[in-house]
Chain A
Amino acid sequence: MSVRNHPGDGGVSRRGFLGFSAAAGATVLLGSACGAGGVGGGAGNGTGKIRALFMKQAGYSESDIRKMTAAFQKANPKIQVDVELVAYEALHDKIVAAAPAHTYDVVLIDVIWPAEFGSKRIVTDVTGKVSGGIRNGMLPGALATAEYRDHYYGLPWILDTKYLFYNKAHLRKAGVDAASLDTWDGVRAAAKQIKSKGVVDTPLAWSWKQVEALVCDYTQLLGAYGGAFLTPDGKSAAFQTGGGLDALTFMRGTIDDGLTNKGSITWIEDDVLKTFSQGQASFMLNWTYGYAGANDPKASKVAGDVGVLRTPAGPGGKRPGVNGSMALCVSGGSRNQAAAWTYITYLTGAPVQDQYATSSLPCWHASYDDPEVAKANPKIVPIAKEQLADLIARPQVPRYNEMSQVLQAQLQRCLAQGADPAAVLKSAADQAKRILA
């Protein structure tokens, strides 16, 4: 800084200069911030440029999304779509951070976020635009993906739940009958046998990293053991007893028995798929894309040996799959909402969903009787038809993320550090009280 205060030289003092520029800077920014206030969305004229945010993980692949978008632009030359993809783990925070800046017109949201995003107007209420054709044509479970308190905040695009995948060769070598995998007790017994025969040291692989994936696996087990997340009035936690506790006890038990690969504590679904594809696990719980992934000879050593089943049942015979669906929404700040909606209806339409059925199963009733769809995914479709009719949701509460983080931390205290299942769940339930209040 060359502007210095030499006494009597009549220059500008450093302090004066700093003060002046600070005030000027603050004024400029305050002015611009006030100008940009408000949610500020608008319908637009249905043409022009839109930006869409997707995730790079499970469901449709990046190349699927780019191909769909190219086809859309061919059919709608007046709309240009910029596609951006982030990891699932970054998706929520990216949507939140971009919301006040109106960066995206279309955002992909998870089934656990409509309560939060809808109530904060980060995504728009599209109830009036969801036509009778959509209401009658889509599976009810799928439509509920973007629903909160009888309002729709988007259209379902990825309809998914976790299935049990197994390695046929491992079962053969250990002399295990696939029919025994109908229950979680059966899976545990099979894993024990595979381990004792020395086929694989740790037959079970899970996505138990301290992220949402852990809650997905836990939800599916909680459902099998007949548990519930919340009490019927929705005001307090219910996972700390009954099925919720049995589920965690089961999870911990598989670690104590040396059946679960300890890496599971650090894995998300992609890591589980890699481990399974390398033949280092006999079983995995994973989304639909796991079937195509594990059967891809370029990326997998077990291609052709992959079996898929409905998620196993608990002692009471219950076997719901975790609802892992995702929906496309028009963001609250979009100034081109009409074009955004055109793009969303195209991507979620039956023709596009049917065409990419190997990546993610369609959300439409009719698709499941379409021979082309069944042919594209002959192993998954019949199983999906049953399992998608029986889904369990994670709690639909506006502060879901906080609750999920509490649960993740406490589940990991048990899984990674060996803390008592009942104690950690009680601690989670105590913390949840404040969040649910």
Chain B
Amino acid sequence: MAASRDRRGQAWLALALLAPAAVVVFGVVLYPALRALWISFFDVDSPMPGAYPFTGIGNYRDVLTDPLVWTAAGHTVYFTLVSTAAELVLGVLLALLMNAPLRARWLLRAIVIVPWALPTIVNGAMWTGLLNSQYGPVNALLTQLHVTSHYISFLGSPFLALNLVIVADVWKNTSLVAFFLLAGLQTIPHGLYEAARVDGAGPVRAFFSITLPLLRPTIAIVLVLRTMEAFKVFDIIYVMTGGGPASGTQTVTFLTYLKAFSDQRFGYGSAMAYLIVVVILVLSTIYLRLLRQSDMGAAA
């Protein structure tokens, strides 16, 4: 009896201690989210408080019928697929390298973490400088190696610019992927490899039959994280191209920002933001389901 009262007292103490933080967290997360949902049903064209006409699902209809949105969605899907795939492949290679018994392994690991430690804004500014059409080192290198005959305006043609933004993104985020995978690699028991070697399996066979299957849960986590992050890409585009040239690097989040803040169409912007949330929810549900399946697969 006394123990139960004690326990109840403890629970209330815990609740009291957690309440302030919970109020802040939920207030900061939930309130703006609900407020944005509310705004998405009105034609809000100013940041100032006031009465704005109710439009129902008008904003959602406008978003879904706007050709600009679909073009931007195309860029976003391309960005997400290519950057996530590249980060995964390079991340696996890098993780294997970092897991190998090299002499200066600590140094390698320290170097690999550097790109991820850079703020995205700095990374974007750095790549913009590297790719500069007048004094960029990339241009200098390519012309001096006689790969190109003259300096190229790398960020001046839409499709090339989109791919180079992907390169900048991959350069930075591969580190994160590699470290996740490294953690996964270290959980694989050595005995498995030794047994495989005894059975006459080479390193390639070992990779595909042992490493990859056992890495699956980690890969799934990394995929969830990176797909969602890539889908929300904004800052590197803002810094490197501003959505140009010819809107060729405009992604859905960038367009949302333009519509909401530059055009002051907050209702339209909120509707667009909610549609993005829906897409991300769908994506993460699919991924999490896959993840659970692979978890069970690993457990079995």
Contacts and interface: CB of A to CB of B under 8 A. Distances in A.
Interface of A: 2-3, 9-12, 17-18, 20-22, 24-26, 28-30, 33, 37-39, 89, 92-93, 96-97, 99-100, 116, 120-122, 201, 209-211, 261-266, 274-275, 278, 280, 332, 399, 401-402, 405, 408-409, 412-413, 415-417
Contacts of B35: 33
B244 A412 contact: yes
Given A274-B134, A405-B263, A412-B247, A17 B22 contact: yes
B100 interface: no
In the A-B complex, the 6 residue pairs with the smallest Cβ-Cβ separation, listed nearest first, are A210-B244, A25-B26, A21-B22, A263-B133, A25-B27, A11-B11
A100 B49 contact: yes
A409 B158 CA distance: 11
Nearest to B10: A11
A359 B241 CA distance: 28
A25 B263 contact: no
A262 B245 contact: no
B144 interface: no
Interface residues of B, number: 51
A18 B31 CA distance: 14
B4 A25 contact: no
Interface stretch (B13-21, B89-97, B217-225): B13-21
A275 B15 CA distance: 63
A93 B242 contact: no
B242 A89 contact: yes
B65 interface: no
A261 B134 CA distance: 9
Interface centre among A21, A39, A89, A266, by most chain B C-beta atoms within 10 angstroms, is A266
B12 A280 contact: no
Contact of B49 (A30, A38, A408, A416): A38
Given A122-B46, A417-B158, A405 B262 contact: yes
B15 A97 contact: no
Nearest to A97: B261
A263 B134 contact: yes
Contacts of B15: 3, 12, 17, 20
Contact of B31 (A25, A38, A120, A399): A25
Given A412-B245, A412-B246, A416-B245, A97 B26 contact: no
B269 to A, nearest CB: 11
B244 A266 contact: yes
Given A25-B26, A116-B264, A210-B244, A416 B158 contact: yes
